[in-house]
Amino acid sequence: MKVVAIIPARYGSTRLPGKPIKDILGYPMIWWVYQRVREVERLDEIYVATDDERIASICKKYNIPVVMTDSSHRTAANRLAEVSETIEADFYLQLNGDEPLINTEAIAKAIPDYVPTDIEFGTNIITEMEDPAQVMDPSNIKMVFDIQMKALYMSRTPIPYPFKEIKYKYYKHVGIIGYNKKMLTFYKNSKPGRFELIEGIDTLRFLDYGKQLKLTIVPSCHSLSVDTEQDLNMVTELIKEKKEYGSD
């Protein structure tokens, strides 16, 4: 089974323009992401997908495989769908390009042992939220699932509601998602669904149309994405500490 990781990277971030090529200890951020992803043994190939020549040029400078995609893509899944038309694989992993400390265990767990070819199929990593403030934060996408770990719904509001039982664990979506080719083709050819439009969660499209999204729980998998200069400084210090102490 061939598994390809795709790291979508765009230049036009509202809060931190050009963040994929922001410097972290002498290397661009996308280099750190790529080096981290390379640690995952189950990946056959890794590509950065971008529509910006500045990012592509940096990738080529550091020998990072890069694919140029159309600039009209509204979502990362659309960008992956385009990549899947030229790069063949049994499974495609969508990884965030702004997480230099991305969880490699979670990446590996997002790769299933078997990928069906006759249906649209995807995977998603989720993790438990232990802080009530996290549960109330609308930027954390709450996930509910059945006993087979198939996603039932996802929302910005805390679900399910603890009406008769308060001993319940809330889980949030982590931005590590996998797709087979059929799932990406479906996404490319479909329009936003009812709940996707209401919640503003593009991954909801799969559930809107009854597609299968298999979830895997990874404990303490809390992403640290770089969205601001403050985030960049924090990540830089964390990487510096890891290098100094030789930690994983």
pLDDT in tens, 146-183: 999 999 999 999 999 999 998 899 999 998 999 999 99
Q: pTM of whole model > 0.85?
A: yes
Determine the residue type at 212. Q
Q: 242: pLDDT confidence band, cut at 50, 70 and 90?
A: confident
pLDDT in tens, 179-217: 999 999 999 999 999 999 999 999 999 999 999 999 999
pLDDT above 60 for 247: no
Q: What was the pLDDT predicted at 245? A: 54
pLDDT tens digits, one per residue of 28-73: 999 999 999 999 999 999 999 999 999 999 999 999 999 999 988 8
- Give me the pLDDT at residue 167, please: 87
For the segment 230-234, the average pLDDT, to the nearest whole number, is: 94
Confidence grade of residue 111 (pLDDT, cut at 50, 70, 90): very high
What mean pLDDT do residues 69-96 have? Answer: 95
Q: How far is CA 185 from CA 77, 93, 113, 244, in A?
A: 10, 14, 22, 45
Contact indicator for 121, 180 with CB cutoff of 8 Å: yes
Residues 1-13: b if buried by 16+ CB within 10 A, e if exposed: eebbbbbbbbeee
Q: Name the token pair of 127.
A: 């993790």
Phi and psi at 12, nearest 5°, equal -85, 55
User: Considering just the CA atoms, what is the radius of gyration of the chain in Å?
Assistant: 18
For position 246, what pLDDT does the model report? Answer: 56
Confidence band, pLDDT 50/70/90 cuts, at residue 244: low
